[in-house]
Amino acid sequence: MLKSFTFDTFKLSRSATKQIFGTHQHYCTLNANQSHGQSVEVRKALEGWDEKLKDAGVGDIEFNLKCLVAHVLKRKFSTLKSYKTEKFTAEQHSEFSRLCEARCARMPLQYILGEWDFMDLTLKTAPTVFIPRPETEEFVSKVIEEYRNVQQPIDMLEVGCGSGAISLAILNALPHVTSTAIERSKAATTLAWENAKSLKLSDRFTPYNHTTSENNYLPKELADRKFDLIVSNPPYVRTEEFPLLQPEVTIYENLNALDGGQDGLQIARLVFDLACLYLRRGGKLWLELGSEHPPLVKTIMNLKYEGRLRFISSYIDQYKRDRFVEIEKV
């Protein structure tokens, strides 16, 4: 687990970046002068990188290396069985070495690759745009199962769509759903729209660049709308927990997409208020939160939202942590 994000850490990141490009130039020169276009067996190219990645604190090294090999070879991860017997060209060897250096600098694998699989979709990724976690796939699966057998059209709102992962996965699985999404990051809003277009889901997905705040929950264009379903994976990390996060997160990801304030529910409370105004009676609000939050949310519903919102249930993730919350508009 991580050290706190200080100016010294930032300087380390800049230094590591210089090392990445310096190493890249070194390998290019080496390959040009010595390899003369000759191929290199992947097994040979891998030598030493497992130790370097281990020393850098990277986990699941075999998985990381295989992902990088697949990316350089322009192959699907699942098609590389005995990948160590594959061969790199000199140029590919140079590219692989540069990407390994980037991973040693703790750049997230998703940013290095520029794309990542989420459920049945391949999404473009970009630095500063929040990377969806595996647990979010479980969250989305819960929502999909809830609405799979519903016959009528469902008008859904997502609060904080990031790369579009949640909305687009639901749209891909449920053709009777349309999604409107709001996102405060311009870069993320643009990326979500690009993902929707590349996946041919843009006809049912409309993202807005908007920062939700008290009494300004939605863009003016949506002021008169009511939704059947609201989903959100809001920032839920308590501010005091930031020193415990991994370097991949604190150095490279957008911390605004993680900071849930003192108790981790600062943004979730805005979503509760938004749901009171824009969720149809009988409609559902689904949230992915921290493991300590469902009991707090249940208490908040009983104390502050009685007669408006009703806590239905919470659900555990694959690690047996209570994470997902279902709420109904009364």
Under a CB-based contact definition with an 8 Å cutoff, are residues 207 and 135 in contact? Answer: no
* pLDDT above 70: percentage of residues in the chain: 83
Fold of 118-329: Rossmann fold (3.40.50)
Residue 170 · residue 179 · CB < 8 Å: yes
The β-bridge relationship of strands 154-159 and 177-183 is parallel
Q: Where on the phi/psi map is residue 71: left (φ > 0), alpha (ψ -120 to 50), or beta?
A: alpha
Predicted confidence at residue 12, as pLDDT, reads 34
pLDDT tens-digit series, residues 31-74: 444 445 689 999 999 999 999 999 999 999 999 999 999 999 99
Q: Is the pLDDT of residue 300 over 70?
A: yes
Ordered by start, the domain boundaries in the chain are: 39-105, 118-329
Q: What is the pTM of this model?
A: 0.81
Identify the pLDDT of residue 263. 84
How does pLDDT run across 159-195, given as a tens digit for each residue? 999 999 999 999 999 999 999 999 999 999 999 999 9
- As a whole number, the mean pLDDT across the chain is 86
CA diameter of the chain: 75
Per the CB < 8 A criterion, the answer to whether 70 and 83 are in contact is yes
Q: How far apart are the first and last CA of the chain?
A: 42
83 phi-psi bin (left φ>0, alpha ψ -120 to 50, beta other): alpha
